[in-house]
Amino acid sequence: MASRSDLNRAIGIWVVLSIVADLLIGFLLAPHMPPGHFSNTASDQTEINNILALILAPIGVGVITLFLYALISFRQPSGPIQDGPPVKGHRRLQAGWVGVTTLIVVILAITGTVELLQSPSSASGAGSGGGQGGTPISSPSGNPLQVQVIAQQWWFTYRFPQYGGVETFSLALPVDRTVEFHVTSLDVIHSFWAYQLGVKADAVPGADNIAFTVPKHTGLFQIRCAELCGLFHGYMAAHGEVLSQGGFAAWIAKAQKFNAPILRYLPKYAKVYYPDPQQRGG
């Protein structure tokens, strides 16, 4: 049966190992925690991942420590196997366990709520749309760049309603400007995942899922479909690019000029589309 000295010894080992684990996470893992800092949404997710890792590390260390301590210290002695003495409840330990776990849940709930309801006009706030529907909890101020992501078997295309509804096969975004994604689908359920931007939104036929982000660095980012959508699901992979403000202006002007002959054949810009299934199937 565990004595007070056993409990104190196990707690002491747990505290030391938890401090070491959190120091390793804080100094070695945290700077490399995904998805990184390519956008404000990615930075927010990285910060939350770091907080979760720092909180959960002591919990995981505690479970492993108690398991190994019990395995080593309370082994059945040699000789005939006998049942140990009955174990009685430890009210202080039970109350402490309930209190600590409740505190952890409350901290995580407060952290998530603050992140969700942060002001769109703040330094890190760009609206609280995360691809959960067409009515975000909060929307950013100013004039965000609207980009409609149209998923279909098996690629993504992008429409820019503020630039005459031009549609492109590649995606470019301006740095330091809020982007308002409107994600939909023409056929089956897909999922638009811009990994380095920290943006993931389901593409559902007949639905307009809105997500916001603010790119903070120029460069390439990965685009994937994160929903199994058919035979060539793995083919839905590409790269988008974040450009300077001037670079994006030149890119969109070139896209408008290149696509001008086909604009009259495109359907009028809408939040959702319902193409003829027979025409779609050939």
Question: What does the pLDDT look like over 99-157, one tens digit per residue?
Answer: 988 998 998 888 877 776 664 434 444 444 565 677 777 777 778 999 999 999 999 99
First to last CA, the chain: 74
Q: Enter the DSSP assignment of 170.
A: S
Cα separation, 190 vs 135, whole angstroms: 20
pLDDT value at position 119?
43
* Higher per-residue confidence, 266 vs 84: 266
| pLDDT tens-digit readout, 173-191 | 999 999 999 999 998 999 9
Assign 276 a pLDDT band (cuts: 50, 70, 90): low
Cα separation, 125 vs 139, whole angstroms: 9
Cα separation, 185 vs 188, whole angstroms: 7
Give the CA distances from residue 135 to residues 144, 207, 282, in Å, rounded to whole numbers and listed in that order.
16, 11, 35
What CATH number was assigned to the domain covering residues 145-280?
A: 2.60.40.420
pLDDT value at position 114?
77
The neighbour count for residue 36, using CB atoms within 10 Å, is 19
Q: Is the pLDDT of residue 192 over 90?
A: yes
Peptide bond into 58 cis (omega under 30): no
* Higher per-residue confidence, 210 vs 134: 210
pLDDT value at position 221?
96
3-class DSSP assignment, residue 93: helix
Are 177 and 145 contacting, i.e. CB atoms less than 8 angstroms apart?
A: yes
| pLDDT tens-digit readout, 214-265 | 999 999 999 999 999 989 999 999 999 999 999 999 999 999 999 888 888 8
Domain ranges of the chain: 4-73+98-117, 145-280
| pLDDT tens-digit readout, 34-73 | 999 999 889 988 988 999 899 999 999 999 998 998 888 8
